[in-house]
Structure 1
Amino acid sequence: REVKSDLVMLSLSSSGQCGPDSHFAGYAPLFGAWGGLGWMSGYTDGPPVEMRHVMDHSAGYHAVVALMAALHQRRRTGEGQYIDLAARDVASAMIGDALLMASLGEDPVRPGNDDPRMAPHGVYPTANTDRWLTIAVRNDREWRALVGIIGTPGAADDPRFASAGARRRNRQSLNRLITEWLGNRGAESTAKRLQNVGVCAHASWNMQEIADDPHLRQRGALTAVEDPAIEKRFAVGPPARFSKTRDVGIRRGTPGLGQDEDYVYGELLGLSSEQREDLESREIIF
């Protein structure tokens, strides 16, 4: 700060820079377990589910948003600031509703595929081996449309399923009805029938189906990458589409070690060769 008073700096750690646990090390599985996210993930009758990959990404996303907020504040006031972000806090922030329930004396349980308001809401097996169908019914109109496809006599007027609240309370019986119906039906064909009548449904795709999806390819969500060192392959592109910024996305393979140093230090940062040598000699850059 003595050199640059408007400096913005962020520390992202396991448990933060203050508090009794600030010295604890941690990795992604611990963040979810420590922050309560693991306890709230999984089926009601099963154990907590380890949350690993999502925590690294979620903590990084929060760090970027916090930095942008601090930079916006600096633009308005000219003042820099220090940001202390803990991955454990990020996990706890993602279960705010469960923490609120616990503070009111309730006992939150792992929801599995259940939804607090919608029923049916889940992933159901079909006639095909390891082919699953996701169904989510939001209201009575969609429920009646689903019953029309199922063709079960009296289901629309069954008092157990007559309202969203009743369906939610009797969701186990409802899930058994749907599972039995899907026992001799295919996932893709059934999904199309349900979509045609306005019911949210889709087969749970595997990775090959996603890679072959023409919709994702046309949007650039999957991008063909070519590089002299590798064969042509598809990579995951950025999910956002900008109307004014066109040059966004993956355009080449992974750069080699130090491949872009001249561009970054020279063109972007404007450092001379003497400045770079000085910084390298002091091990500020490598």
Structure 2
Amino acid sequence: MTTRQPGARPLDGIRVLDFTGAWAGPMATRSLAFLGAEVIKIEGPSRMDSWRETVAGVEKSRYPDLVRGERPYNRSFRFNSQNHDKLALSLDLKSPAGVQIALDLARVCDVVVDNFSPGVMESLGLGYKALCEVRPDLIMVQMPAYGSSGPDAYAVAFGPNMEAMTGMASLMGYGGEDETPVLTSNAYLDPIGGLHGAAAVLTALMYRSRTGRGQHVEVPQRETAMQFAGELLLEQVETGKVFVPRGNAVPYAAPHDAFPTLGEDEWIAIAVLDDEQWRVLCETLGCGQLAADPDFATAHERRHNAVRLHQELSSCTIQQEKWALAEQLQSRGVPAAPVCTGEDVAENPHLVSRGVFVEVDHAEAGRRRYPALGYRLESTPGRIERASPLYGEHNRRVLSDVLGLSDEQIDQLEASGVIASAPRTAPSATIPKEKVL
């Protein structure tokens, strides 16, 4: 039985080679770093992680204090939210020397993760077969959008169109005259894929600890996300009944909706599961006449008269403060919650008291708060120790400490462009943009 030192984390001693970009892949490797793994993040001199935005920067909203700075790619809040505790190595995989360094790193790594489209790693000479030649017990986790086989394998993939491909969009919308499907957000599938990717790594590591064997693991992001709407999709398959979007309405509660409250664009979500909760809701709102209205006497009647119900309740909630009203309703057994803005979440006393947000010093973005991950291990807790890395920040550290290269060898690699301390503006011809997820 292994005895862990106080403060040890579950993945201490595990090294991960990270070829991921954007959100899904980096969130998977961020989870591994949170749990103690040493994660070496590879970016190309001509193709950095897309969440660094561009060399010159994009709209100011992507940067702290709305300031791009001299090196916007080091200040992007999106990149800096998903790459804590990683070591950054800028490596040109178009060059034989760059590929050899990647192979040398794989030799001393336990896990390799990428979220390229199928075939990209093989085209670089870094497919699973090639990596196993240098590290037979290696675990390789690949996260293609649609899997490595089948008619859609090479389809272009971003969060919104992947979400549509899962069937989710057909389940969301307002119904009636406006039957347009509604997407949840910009890239809801990415964090789902990220957590599945991390779970896949942990599962493979457990297998290796028992058998001594590594393996190749595929995490198709479309298929992982389908699990989140699985029961509704299966119901349609089994019954042949096509689901009709109906906004926030559900068959088991009425009302079940968001209602306006005091202030600009402020809302409260309320769900009434039975007639007693309906009575309490009306009493709390001071709208006793609604409880006596025969149009709202039962859940069936409330659903049938949903439009008028929403109008009547809105006229009662609009004068109430969302937090106070939610607390009153919750204390009386009515499910209710304020609809939180981003600022509400960031400043929420409950979340702050639980240490959900961690302040981290970043060399170019300054001291900022970032959300930790949503799981807590009592004996081996994860933690954020360092800010996300600057571009190429750890080139020398990785090449010297991990691979044992001399200063002269590293200088030669930098002079020849195999490594870089700043991104180039020219795009890479080796990995086409449409091939990167």
Residue of structure 1 equivalent to 2:350: 215
Residue of structure 2 equivalent to 1:240: 375
Superposition map of 1:13-24 within 5 A: 13-24=144-155
- The size of the alignment, in residue pairs, is 281
Q: Is 1:61–2:221 an aligned residue pair?
A: no
The question of whether the paired residues in 1 share the 8 Å contact of 2:399 and 2:405 is answered with: no
Aligned-residue offset at 1:239: 3.0
The question of whether the paired residues in 2 share the 8 Å contact of 1:117 and 1:168 is answered with: no
Which of 342, 360, 379 is 1:225 aligned to?
A: 360
Residue of structure 2 equivalent to 1:136: 271
The question of whether the paired residues in 2 share the 8 Å contact of 1:13 and 1:85 is answered with: yes
Aligned-residue offset at 1:19: 1.0
Aligned-residue offset at 1:3: 4.6
Secondary structure of the structure 2 residue equivalent to 1:9: strand
Q: In structure 1, what residue type is equivalent to 2:174?
A: Y
Q: TM-score, normalised by structure 1?
A: 0.80
Residue of structure 2 equivalent to 1:89: 223
The question of whether the paired residues in 2 share the 8 Å contact of 1:9 and 1:81 is answered with: yes
The question of whether the paired residues in 2 share the 8 Å contact of 1:225 and 1:253 is answered with: yes
Residue of structure 2 equivalent to 1:113: 248
Percent identity over paired residues: 29
RMSD (CA atoms): 3.4
Q: In structure 2, what residue type is equivalent to 1:205?
A: C
What are structure 2's unaligned runs of at least 5 residues?
1-131, 421-437
Residue of structure 2 equivalent to 1:271: 403
Q: In structure 2, what residue type is equivalent to 1:121?
A: H
The question of whether the paired residues in 2 share the 8 Å contact of 1:147 and 1:156 is answered with: no
CA distance in 1, matches of 2:167, 2:251: 19
The question of whether the paired residues in 1 share the 8 Å contact of 2:290 and 2:296 is answered with: no
The question of whether the paired residues in 2 share the 8 Å contact of 1:223 and 1:235 is answered with: yes
Residue of structure 2 equivalent to 1:52: 186
Q: 1:81 to 1:140 in 2, by over 3 A?
A: farther
The question of whether the paired residues in 1 share the 8 Å contact of 2:253 and 2:271 is answered with: yes
Q: 1:55 to 1:232 in 2, by over 3 A?
A: same
Aligned-residue offset at 1:115: 3.3
Aligned-residue offset at 1:23: 2.2
More relative contact order, 1 or 2 (CA 8 Å, 6+ apart): 2
Q: 1:154 to 1:31 in 2, by over 3 A?
A: closer
Which of 181, 184, 205 is 2:319 aligned to?
A: 184
Residue of structure 2 equivalent to 1:27: 158
CA distance in 1, matches of 2:186, 2:251: 25
Residue of structure 2 equivalent to 1:256: 390
Residue of structure 2 equivalent to 1:152: 288
Aligned-residue offset at 1:255: 2.6
CA distance in 2, matches of 1:169, 1:76: 58
Aligned-residue offset at 1:184: 3.3
Aligned-residue offset at 1:35: 1.8
CA distance in 2, matches of 1:205, 1:16: 36
- Higher mean displacement: 83-92 or 13-22: 83-92
CA distance in 2, matches of 1:199, 1:209: 22
CA distance in 2, matches of 1:285, 1:186: 56
What are structure 1's unaligned runs of at least 5 residues?
none
Give deviations 1:85-113, integer Å, cap 9, x for gaps: 32222333322122212212101122422
